Every structure is written in C-alpha cells, then in structure tokens.
Amino acid sequence: MNNVSITHFRNTVERILEPIFKTCYDNLIYTYGFTSSAMEIKLIPGRGFDSNVYLIMGEFPTIIDTGMGLNHNYILNEIKKHLNPQEVKQVVLTHEHIDHSRGVKKLLEDTGGNTSVFAHEYAAEKLEKEGNRVSEFFGVFMPNLNIERRLRDGDKVTMGDDEFIVIHTPGHTPGSICLYNEAEKILFSGDTVFSHGGFGRYDLRGGDPVMLLRSLEKLMLLDVRNLYPGHGEIVLGNGNEHIRLALHNLRLLI
C-alpha cells in the first residue's frame, strides 16, 4: 500500500470513528453530568416527565428546577452524592410547569427549611395562587408554593460562586426565564430552547409562538458556549448553533 492509499485509508477511518466517539462522549456527559466548565455543575437527568435538575456547587449551592416529585428519592440520592441537602441555599425555577416545579415541596422537606425559592414574577403568580390549575394538564394535584424572590428580566442571581443574569423568555409560558453567565458563556435555558434545534411547546395555556420567536432572537444576541436545557442532552461547545437552529425551525412553523 503506497503513501497515498495509507493517507486515504486513515482519513476514511477517522471520518467513520469520529461521530461514534462523539456519541459515546455525549452519552457520558448526559449520564454522569460531566462538564467542561470551571463552574461545578451536576446534571441529574430527568426521568419520565421530569425536567432535568441541575445542582450548582459553591458558596451558594443552587438547584435549578426540581422535576414533578414522582422521582424524588432518585433526585435526592443524586444530590446527596455531592453535598448534604440542607446545604442547598436556593431553588431557581425556570418556569411554572409542574414537570419543573412540583418537586419543590418534597425537596424543601429535605433541605431543612433554609432554602429560598426563586421564580419569575409571572410564574410566581401562578405557583402561589393557582398551583392546581398549573398541573391540570397532567391530572395531578399541586399545592401552592411560596416564592421568596420574584425575578425580573435583567436581575442578577448568584448561583454557586458565579453571577447569572435573568433573561425573561416568554413563549413556552409567560413566566419562562433563562439564566446566563457571561464569563463562562453558560446558559440554563429551561424549556425555551433545547439541543439540536428543539424548542418548548407553545400550544399549552399561556404559550405564544410569536413571543417564543422573539425570545429565541434575544438569546441569539448572547455568546453561548455551553447550553443546559430543561430536557434532553446538554451542549458543551457551540451552544449558539443549537439556538440558531431552533430559531430557524420555529420560523418555518409560524
């Protein structure tokens, strides 16, 4: 085999193996919560209808979203692998749907009453006064919650050791938010945008496709490297491309 044939063979093998290795790497990321950021983020992948749950370590240990509460023991055991649940300072909810918020009550029982709950002001209105109405789509009961801090667009929240900016992104729900850290180029996107061009439903109560489009356009102005969505795989590197694809896909539908 001459040098040209060897080079061609090597290039062919690399093209075949590269996506296989990438898939294996992505599966490790999704299953075990590894990250490439200096920020210590632990992913607890959602089970069933549950959202992903994120634990951010540091001076202000923070949980982003809590699932429905049906898999509470699984989530609690995952948290215990990294810290005592009573060390959790705050829970930040990305929006009012129960697959992200119904687990709050059970979680607070394990954090010893020292944990504050944050949500956008529109989400807080629903969660504090209309908990069961929020859950009617799933046919389960949800008690009203006490939201200690009502967030607005542009607010700053310290999670772990780092400061995040609250970005109001209505469209999936009126109270949807994303959380962005400029230094690490990290975006927690809730159900506004998912990996591979996915985006949140807008056909449920309070959904609005035009508002969702505007929200995705707003996110496109950010420099996003790592994307941590409310469901499905996380994205480590080139998060903007996944947001761009979501915006493209939504424009095709409306």
Whole-angstrom CA distances from 132 to 10, 67, 94, 203, 212 are 60, 16, 18, 19, 25
47/18 same-domain check: no
**Per-residue pLDDT at 180:** 98
Provide mean pLDDT across the span 13-23: 46
C-alpha to C-alpha distance for 29 and 186, rounded to whole angstroms: 15
pLDDT of residue 230 exceeding 70: yes
Query: Is there a single domain that holds both residue 25 and residue 48?
Result: no
Between 137 and 76, whose confidence is greater? 76
Structural domains in the chain (count)? 2
Q: Is residue 245 domain-shared with residue 149, that is, in the same domain?
A: yes
Claim to verify: residue 146 and residue 196 sit in the same structural domain: yes
- pLDDT at position 25 is 41
Report percent pLDDT > 70 for the chain.
82
Question: Within this chain, do residues 2 and 25 fall inside the same structural domain, yes or no?
Answer: yes
Q: Mean pLDDT, the chain, as a whole number? A: 88
The 10s digit of each residue's pLDDT in 84-98 is: 999 999 999 999 999
Same-domain status, 7 and 47: no
Q: Are residues 22 and 88 in the same domain?
A: no
> Does residue 10 sit in the same domain as residue 101?
no
| Residues 189 and 163 both lie in one domain | yes
Residues 24 and 130 placed together within one structural domain of the fold = no
| Statement to judge: residues 131 and 183 lie in one domain | yes
Same domain, 243 and 167: yes
pLDDT of residue 69: 93
What is the domain range of residue 146? 33-253
| 115-151 per-position pLDDT tens digit | 999 999 999 999 998 765 666 666 778 888 999 999 9
| Predicted local confidence at residue 235, as pLDDT | 98
Does the pLDDT at position 166 exceed 80? yes
